[in-house]
Amino acid sequence: PPTRIGLAGLAVMGQNLALNIAEKGFPISVYNRTTSKVDETVERAKQEGDLPVYGFHDPQSFVRSIQKPRVIIMLLKGGAPVDQTIKTISAYMDKGDCIIDGGNEWYENTERREEEMSGLGFLYLGMGVSGGEEGARRGTALIPGGSFEAYKYIEDILLKVAAQVPDGGPCVTYIGKGGSGNFVKMVHNGIAYGDMQLIAEAYDVLKSVGNLTNQELRSVFSEWNKGELSSFLIEITADIFGIMDDKGDGYLVDKVLDKTGMKGTGKWTVQQAAELSVAAPTIAASLDSRFLSGLKEERVKAAKIFKSVEFGDNLIESDQTVDKAKLVDDVRQALYASRICSYAQGMNLIRAKSMEKGWELKLGELARIWKGHCIIRAVFLDRIEKAYDRNPKLANLVVDPEFAEEMMERQSAWRRVVCAAINSGIATPGMSSSLAYFDTYRRERLPANFENLTS
Ligand code: NDP
């Protein structure tokens, strides 16, 4: 009998999503350009409980094996591979069939394809899939945008495949028209960049200013994960401090290269912020930090120069006395306030685009589905959801009455952390730019009058 759905692209994400869909009771056909991955997926499906996954080595029998109207999810490297795969599979599709791109695709590519496909009588969705490998397999946040008709046709599958949150239901909702699903996923990734940067800075301040050991860091982050900061990234950060390296002669965190790259969505987020004239300094700072981290060799040379006899070590105030417990409590507050600023920037970016494109995106709903198995899931998303439910037109998260109170309560600690870091020569670009964002936003009068007079 025909299968209910098809999936093309069986790398990490596709393979796991296919198994997840099959496990939820939907027989699925799978296809991949390199056929060994098809066999691998079918084998895994057997091992993981005889799941109904059917493999095909050629696109024609793959497409024809799916019940009509057909739905095929693609999980591929974005750009040309997506166009090539659409060409390959659409040759065997019939009018009314639907393609869903589940990758991290540039939203304009999705809009172009949706238009091209609709000219041929096909439906098209661009669906952000969050949560990485684990999320794809066990349940994740799904962010579909594009044809509503296509969404309705596979809603039953998506509702089951999405992560289920006890107080929030399945982490999926129809987002809006056009490329909105991809756009929202892009900003979600930008927010994740900001979060990771801010957490890295908290670690740096505690280690470099507070001299906390890895064991102490582990217990601090575990403790934080029980409170207002509770989130996936804080949880895994706590775990990371407990991991020893393979040889057992030290902690993994101290051995890993301090250099990071990026996949593109973070950069797109910052580019879009500039295009839309929306300030997103925390997310931009996280991107800049990644660029600078990449210059490892230059930094090694620069460190030597600034530690040389000629300059001495007078760059840094070394007579700061540190009260560890107080520092830990201050950093917790600085991290929380900074993260709220970062989420506020992401939300405002989404809203600006939604207005430009007429997508009518609901920010509260986005916060709700991000509570699922996605990288930015956090307890405070619940409160962000409520803030937008209370006031869908909320100009900025920081002025929601609840968040405003929290920002005020935390601002002294936040300033102390940034000052301590600056005085110690430790850069906290994420926390500092979040604070600058807050301080700029909350002021009635800015020195822009001066710029007006000089330009
Ligand atoms: P990759 O991004 O590494 O893409 C590999 C897949 O693309 C393979 O199936 C590969 O086929 C296929 N492919 C590449 N070039 C072509 C081509 N010219 N024609 C046909 N197929 C091609 O896989 P991932 O599983 O990591 O990610 C899939 C998508 O999901 C990406 O858009 C990614 O950004 C996104 N994503 C990834 C996450 C992750 O944690 N990895 C998390 C969330 C989203 P072949 O085997 O034949 O080379």
Residue nearest to atom 19 of ligand 1 (CA): 81
User: Per residue in 249-273, is it b (16+ CB within 10 Å) or e — as a string?
Assistant: eebebeeeeeeeeeeebbbbbbebb
Q: How many CA atoms lie less than 13 Å away from 452 in the CB half-sphere? A: 4
Tell me, what's the pLDDT at 132?
A: 86
Tell me, what's the pLDDT at 214?
A: 94
Complex prediction ipTM = 0.98
Tell me, what's the pLDDT at 376?
A: 86
Q: Give one DSSP letter per residue of 342-384, joined into a string.
A: HHHHHHHHHHHHHHHHT----HHHHHHHTTSSSTT-BTHHHHH
d(CA 55, CA 359): 37
Tell me, what's the pLDDT at 319?
A: 59
Q: What angle do CA 378, 160, 192 make, to 5 degrees?
A: 25
In 3D space, the residue among 148, 145, 99 whose CA is nearest the CA of residue 122 turns out to be 99
Pocket test for ligand 1, best of 76, 107, 184, 193 (most atoms within 8 A of CB): 76
Tell me, what's the pLDDT at 318?
A: 58
Pocket test for ligand 1, best of 33, 58, 186 (most atoms within 8 A of CB): 33
The fold for domain 185-383+411-454 equals: N-(1-d-carboxylethyl)-l-norvaline Dehydrogenase; domain 2 (1.10.1040)
| Closest ligand 1 atom, residue 85 Cα | 20
pLDDT along the chain (455 residues), means of 10: 96 97 97 97 96 97 97 96 97 96 96 95 94 88 93 94 86 94 96 96 96 95 94 91 87 89 88 98 97 95 83 60 93 98 97 96 93 84 94 96 97 97 95 98 91 80
d(CA 188, CA 287): 14
In this structure, are residues 338 and 345 in contact, taking their beta carbons and an 8 Å threshold?
no
Query: What is the token pair recorded at 393?
Result: 């037109």
d(CA 87, CA 414): 53
| Closest ligand 1 atom, residue 132 Cα | 40
Tell me, what's the pLDDT at 455?
A: 72
Task: Tell me the domain boundaries of the chain.
Answer: 5-178, 185-383+411-454
Q: If you measure from the C-alpha of residue 362 to the centroid of ligand 1, how many angstroms do you get, rounded to a whole number?
A: 29
Superfamily in which the 5-178 domain is placed by CATH: NAD(P)-binding Rossmann-like Domain (3.40.50.720)
Tell me, what's the pLDDT at 246?
A: 84
Give residue-wise pLDDT tens across range 105-124.
999 999 999 999 999 999 99
Q: How many CA atoms lie less than 13 Å away from 74 in the CB half-sphere? A: 29
* Torsional class of 378: left (φ above 0), alpha (ψ -120 to 50), beta (otherwise): beta
The helix (H) or strand (E) run that includes residue 166 is none
CA 438 to chain centre: 22
Going by their DSSP bridges, the two strands 123-129 and 142-146 should be labelled as antiparallel
Tell me, what's the pLDDT at 328?
A: 97
Residue 210 sits at φ, ψ, to 5 deg, of -90, -10
Q: If you measure from the C-alpha of residue 138 to the centroid of ligand 1, how many angstroms do you get, rounded to a whole number?
A: 19
Ligand 1 pocket: which residues have CB below 6 Å? 9-14, 32-34, 37, 75-78, 80-81, 84-85, 103-104, 129, 132-133
